[in-house]
Structure 1
Amino acid sequence: MQSKHHQFSNEDTRQKPSRQFYIPSQIVSEFVYKGRDHLSKSFSSQFVLAFTAGAFMTYGAAFSILLVLGIEAKGIYYLLSGLGFASAYAMVFISGSVLFTEVNVLLPTYMVNAKKVYVKNILTFWCSAYIGNMIGAIFVALLIKMSGSLSPSFYQELSMYIDHKMKFMNNGLQGTFQIIVSGILANWLIGMAAFLTTAARDITGKILGTTLPVILFVAGNFQHSAANMGYFSLGIVSDSTYAWYEMLFFNLIPASIGNIMGGAILVSLLFSYAYKTDIQKALRN
């Protein structure tokens, strides 16, 4: 008869099921590959994928508002609003569309870990992502407005959303600083949404990984430039009390600066440094 110790030893050698997620160093390595793959695409392909990502942002903005109409309880309000917007990020991440705030993570990771970097190509891609996102967001907003599908109560709620995002405008330089800091927080969270989504190896895991950080940034009113493009585009076509240039200069631009800092420093650089040895081994294989 085998001893208990021997039995346990045999059990320990049994093949265990494979993991259903990537470990952190593998995730960062995937960021490098994704950044490289995006840069290898033609400009027209980059722009089309940025356009679709911007379009999804407006759909997400609309859905986040539709889900909270008539909701008074703040906790449920924030939860439903975040779930609505998470639908946009799920479409972006799973379709491979190019979102400016995801680029803020992918490209710095690629730049830090790649042996050869072409700065001109990177800047061109970054700009195409931003402009493509904005055009896509405005395009869908126009279609929604022309469709006449949404009720007056939707636009009343939209006005409250935009007021909440533009509240920094009257604070002068302090307001600009607050938007930049808020943008840092927003892209840190969206960077982690990309992190968790990349970690997952099935669709359910990717959607769940996307949803949790999105709910948090929506509830916290952290300024995410690509998301705000969705709300502001709907506002521009529906007689918002704010002019387009006020939304651009008093929110989108400072938020974008913060987004770049949050994604590049607090996600890309920190994890690239923490897992530097493992990443270099993975990239050599």
Structure 2
Amino acid sequence: MKENESIKEKEEKENRQTNASEEEIDRPGRQFYIPSQIVDEFGEKGRDHLNKKPRAQFLLALTAGSFMTFGAVFSILLAIDIQAEGLFYLMSGLGFAAGYAMVFISGAVLFTEVNVLLPSYLFNKKGLMKVNIYKFWLATYLGNMIGAFAVGLLIQMSGSLSDPFYSELAVYVDKKMKFLDYGVKGWFEILVSGVLANWLIGMAAFLTTSARDITGKILGTTLPVVLFVAGNFQHSAANMGYFSMGILSMDQYTWYEYIFFNLIPASIGNLIGGGILVSLLFTYAYKEDIENTFGMGK
């Protein structure tokens, strides 16, 4: 009797092991992070950025700004002489996605990405040194602007680009500055457009963080970037790239018009779009998951 029971127990153990093996075969590991993991990762990245030395923060901000100008240049080069509107937007968006991919994968510090990462840290993590946050935000913004202008200057000095590029650049800049003719209404429209732009860039950061391989990160970056470029949504960091080339090669607009009638309202909208519509929204949607799984506030 005991021998029969022993054989039965052995068979049940073997069956459990077989089932476990089958589950391992039939259910491969996920190739992406779930949303609560992404939100928690945003907070960790925000903390890591703040903990860097000011020198490193500024250098990474310069790097991100330089990638914005490269992205702006590439977006124009890919779309020159394309008459089909849909294809024009697609190629332009793909060009700019190269700049964002370099930012996200290299760990460079972009103002509009920080608008998602730092609020996520504020909402999720305790013990934040709030005195440093505004300095960091300002240093990132100025670093992006200086980096974008420096690369624009180098490109101009290189003489690498032909006349068709500058003709196309004028079209891009005019689209960005079209709000100038509408006064206060135009200023408000840029702000709202900035909200939409950083909502999409926040989702680009979301999808890129979700991916666990380089291909997934590039695809996750590309789709929202193509959308915001096609929609002419006002993204301050991207506009720095276009304006850095425009201010060096065109005299239609002045530097203060670029700043006060585009970059400032766009930046305010970018803060709202990234901080509220991405960071705050997902933080509170997945609040319990983050608390239970990751130990919120540790």
| Offset from partner CA, 1:252-271 (integer Å, 9 cap, x none) | 00000000000000000000
The CA deviation at 1:277 is 1.2
- 1:3: which partner in 2? none
Q: Residues of 1 paired with 2:293 and 2:132: CA distance?
A: 25
| Offset from partner CA, 1:15-42 (integer Å, 9 cap, x none) | 1211010000000000010000000000
- 2:94: which partner in 1? 83
Indicate if the aligned counterparts of 1:86 and 1:210 stay in contact, CA closer than 8 A. yes
Query: % of aligned pairs identical?
Result: 68
Q: Residues of 2 paired with 1:75 and 1:118: CA distance?
A: 46
**One-letter identity of the residue aligned with 1:172:** G
4+ residue runs of structure 1 moved beyond 6 angstroms? none
Q: Residues of 1 paired with 2:292 and 2:180: CA distance?
A: 47
Q: Residues of 2 paired with 1:118 and 1:262: CA distance?
A: 23
- 1:93: which partner in 2? 104
- 1:185-204 matches, within 5 Å, as 185-204=196-215
Give the counterpart of 2:19 among 6, 10, 26.
10
Indicate if the aligned counterparts of 1:159 and 1:240 stay in contact, CA closer than 8 A. no
**One-letter identity of the residue aligned with 1:10:** N
Q: Residues of 1 paired with 2:151 and 2:118: CA distance?
A: 27
**One-letter identity of the residue aligned with 1:35:** G
Matched, 1:124 2:145: no
Q: Residues of 1 paired with 2:23 and 2:224: CA distance?
A: 37
Indicate if the aligned counterparts of 1:29 and 1:282 stay in contact, CA closer than 8 A. no
Matched, 1:215 2:212: no
TM-score by length of 2: 0.91
After TM superposition, the structure 1 stretch with the greater mean CA deviation from structure 2, 214-223 or 168-177, is 168-177
- 1:19: which partner in 2? 30
How many equivalent residue pairs? 280
Q: Residues of 2 paired with 1:216 and 1:58: CA distance?
A: 19
**One-letter identity of the residue aligned with 1:168:** F
Give the counterpart of 1:55 among 38, 59, 66.
66
Q: Residues of 2 paired with 1:140 and 1:45: CA distance?
A: 19
Q: Residues of 1 paired with 2:150 and 2:36: CA distance?
A: 38
Q: Residues of 1 paired with 2:153 and 2:19: CA distance?
A: 66
Q: Residues of 1 paired with 2:32 and 2:226: CA distance?
A: 22
The CA deviation at 1:10 is 3.5
- Could you list the runs of 5+ residues in structure 2 that have no partner in the other structure? 1-14
Matched, 1:277 2:293: no
**One-letter identity of the residue aligned with 2:41:** E
SS of the residue 2:23 aligns to: coil
**One-letter identity of the residue aligned with 2:163:** P
Q: Residues of 1 paired with 2:294 and 2:281: CA distance?
A: 18
- 2:7: which partner in 1? none
TM-score by length of 1: 0.95
Larger radius of gyration between Structure 1 and Structure 2: 2
- 1:39-54 matches, within 5 Å, as 39-54=50-65
Matched, 1:170 2:181: yes
